[in-house]
Chains A and B, each alone.
Chain A
Amino acid sequence: EAQVTQNPRYLITVTGKKLTVTCSQNMNHEYMSWYRQDPGLGLRQIYYSMNVEATDKGDVPEGYKVSRKEKRNFPLILESPSPNQTSLYFCASREDGRLYNSPLHFGNGTRLTVT
């Protein structure tokens, strides 16, 4: 089954404790992206990647890191999480980052709470 897999689904952590949210897609998609969803703000892009070893900042990259060493994986790293990073996170992929009509395929989301 074609899918984007995120783990974990739920995560509660404390301020400053490094964490990684994994994302993997099995559709051989070139484009991958991370979003955070907050009430009243919709989804905001954190980072995206057009292909392996090609990443770029989205609209809210502060406090996050990503890497794209393999085509299928795009982990999101929070080196020192803070409470303002409490949010619902989505990983998404697309067949070709340059195609206008290619929709995003989303993972099921990771609900992160930082205390």
Chain B
Amino acid sequence: AQKITQTQPGMFVQEKEAVTLDCTYDTSDPSYGLFWYKQPSSGEMIFLIYQGSYDQQNATEGRYSLNFQKARKSANLVISASQLGDSAMYFCAMREGRGGGFKTIFGAGTRLFVKA
């Protein structure tokens, strides 16, 4: 069964430092996509970054990068130079193809607090 695990319910980081949010996944489908979403206190869900299972390079989007280790089934989000506005809930998500019914499943989330 597909599963996403985020083991850090909450994390603190000092402003301007880098932080890594952990995500491990479990799937038997060779084709899948991994996503990270941000949920600020206002509640909306914001797409941050995507990594495909066949992508050779780690995805990057501005200050966000995804540390993809396929053999370990991990897809950690790295935020560089943290800002106060990065304080939010972060969700890791995975979608499989036809074998998984085209569904997207989410982890329980990690709440990040950025300290000034």
Residues of A within 8 A of B (CB): 31, 33, 35, 40-45, 48, 50, 56, 58-59, 88, 90, 92, 97-98, 100-101, 103-106, 108-109
Contact = CB atoms under 8 A, between A and B. Distances in A.
B97 A98 contact: yes
Interface of B: 4, 6, 9, 31-33, 35, 37, 43-45, 47, 50, 52-53, 91, 93, 95, 97-98, 101-109
Nearest to A111: B43
Given A43-B91, A100-B52, A108 B43 contact: yes
Nearest to A98: B102
Contacts of B101: 56
Max chain B Cβ within 10 angstroms of own Cβ: one of A42, A50, A90: A42
A78 B45 CA distance: 23
